Amino acid sequence: MTATDDPLGGVRPGGRRSWWLREVLAAEAPHLGSDVATPPLAGETTADIAILGGGYTGLWTAIRLSELAPGARIVVVERDICGGGPSGRNGGFVTGWWDELPPLIKRFGESEAVRCALALDAAIDELGAFVAANDIDASWERRGFMQVSAAPAQDAAWSAAAAACAQLGFGDRWYGLSAGDVAARAKSPVFRDGAFMPGAGTIQPAALARGLRRVALERGVVIHERTTVERFDPRLVKTSSADGPGVIVADQIVVALNAWAARWPTFGRRLVTWSSYIVLTEPIPDLLADIGWTGGEGIADARFTLHYARTTPDGRIALGGGGGRAGFGGRIGRAFSHDAGSARRAADGLRRWFPSLAGVRIEDAWGGPIDITDDHRPWFGTLPGGRIHFGLGYSGNGVAPAVLGGRILAALALGRHDDEAASLPIVGAAPRAFPPEPFRYLGARAIREAIVRREQAEESGRRPNPIALAVSRLPKRLGYHLGPD
């Protein structure tokens, strides 16, 4: 492949932190030229509540605990630095669950599904109020989320959810757009009709993660970065770091390890780990104006291996593609961060949406793991014994749900089971298990190939190969709310 037909223009994912995190770390400590990290744990310490993982889930939990139990000793351990994982690398879409209403209704019934969707809207309100109150400069903008059809096979993908919203009296939360409405927000030769969620927004994801870390530290939360959890049981967390082994003797433990939790069999059987990649263009404010995409809304298509894109305050586009790869046995290896093929597919998606940007330089590309459950909803709960609580399985939509997750996990760790958030049906009900390895990995890989082929054929107006079509439908046929019909 020559430099000219490489849509990444020579940029390769992996090897450095996401653009978002580099930007915020440079602002935090310009003189350091390296990451600011709290001291690792070495030796023994105690905690009322030990939190494993320093992404959004762990940090929101720590902050809620500092409010609900002032004086409690809260200790967070993070293998990297806070925000080093997907919380500092994601697309920054902050979206509700109205577009997921039919599967939520199928699982929990109408009133509980609506309660979940309203709780997530409240979490988005809370996120905005929190960043404002704590001077977190994270470019939070509530400009909505638009789903578009980018091929005939995607037309009206949202109609069941929009109809359910309208029928239940929430027709203003997720509603259809005509092709003209879509074009008024962003002109693309492949966009058709779409749907809109006005309550959604975008944020600079790493600035949010680092802002949460700052607030947690200000409130007396102890954070040990560059400290890896090796084992945990209901009383004890064993860690390692460059300074040696560590132990936390804890009364309660919160597991906030996201995709990394899949390494532990209790969680791993109910998760498929998957990579997702983002590409970032150079600043192109004039070209954005030509496209008419100046409203700041996030946009996604209706593929299963969806493309999602948003603009940045300096006029760039960050576009992600869900067409990454499945992981094996819960291991999060280099394929989750160094896979140029997946990043290239994201860049191809950008050029398909906006051919007028073909000459635009890609300045960065990065990837990370997402943890998918059988019906795309997160899973919170407490393990038998009552001391270990967990929140994971965000399935690629975790920015807003982690706010709710922090409330849920803080309540569970304090034994407040009557708490409104902890009584949501996403707490406790385990997602369906996936087949054991190696079948899970081999199945996910084969199905992913089939879905990518099918969706590529549909986008180019070709009839999908019948075998690819049949295999792509397997997850739904087997009762998982994953993959196309």
Ligand X SMILES: Cc1cc2nc3c(=O)[nH]c(=O)nc-3n(C[C@H](O)[C@H](O)[C@H](O)COP(=O)(O)OP(=O)(O)OC[C@H]3O[C@@H](n4cnc5c(N)ncnc54)[C@H](O)[C@@H]3O)c2cc1C
Our CB check for ligand X shows the closer of 116 and 183 to be 116
Our CB check for ligand X shows the closer of 152 and 295 to be 295
Q: Which residues here bind ligand X, judged by CB under 6 A?
A: 52-58, 77-80, 84-87, 89-93, 228-229, 256-258, 260, 276, 278, 320, 367-370, 394, 396-399, 402
* Cβ partners under 8 Å of residue 116, min gap 6: 97, 104, 108, 424, 425, 426
In single-letter form, the type of residue at position 229 comes to V
For the bound state, the minimum distance from the C-beta of residue 26 to ligand X, rounded and expressed in Å, comes to 19
Our CB check for ligand X shows the closer of 389 and 471 to be 389
Q: What is the DSSP letter of 167?
A: H
Our CB check for ligand X shows the closer of 97 and 183 to be 97
Tokens of 438: 């190696």
For the bound state, the minimum distance from the C-beta of residue 484 to ligand X, rounded and expressed in Å, comes to 21
Q: How many helices (H) and strands (E) does the chain have?
A: 14, 18
In terms of DSSP H, where are the helices of 73-202? 101-108, 110-133, 159-167, 179-185
Helix (H, G, I), strand (E, B) or coil at 54: coil
Our CB check for ligand X shows the closer of 256 and 426 to be 256
Other Cβ atoms within 10 Å of 46 Cβ, number: 12
For the bound state, the minimum distance from the C-beta of residue 470 to ligand X, rounded and expressed in Å, comes to 29
Other Cβ atoms within 10 Å of 180 Cβ, number: 8
> With contact defined as beta carbons under 8 Å apart, do 404 and 123 qualify?
yes
Other Cβ atoms within 10 Å of 400 Cβ, number: 26
* Cβ partners under 8 Å of residue 21, min gap 6: 83, 84, 88, 89, 206, 209, 210
For the bound state, the minimum distance from the C-beta of residue 52 to ligand X, rounded and expressed in Å, comes to 6
In single-letter form, the type of residue at position 329 comes to G
For the bound state, the minimum distance from the C-beta of residue 437 to ligand X, rounded and expressed in Å, comes to 19
Our CB check for ligand X shows the closer of 134 and 228 to be 228
For the bound state, the minimum distance from the C-beta of residue 462 to ligand X, rounded and expressed in Å, comes to 29
For the bound state, the minimum distance from the C-beta of residue 391 to ligand X, rounded and expressed in Å, comes to 7
Our CB check for ligand X shows the closer of 62 and 399 to be 399
Our CB check for ligand X shows the closer of 93 and 170 to be 93
For the bound state, the minimum distance from the C-beta of residue 279 to ligand X, rounded and expressed in Å, comes to 10
Tokens of 287: 């070209």
Alpha-carbon span 108 to 371, nearest angstrom: 21
> With contact defined as beta carbons under 8 Å apart, do 84 and 21 qualify?
yes
Other Cβ atoms within 10 Å of 315 Cβ, number: 16
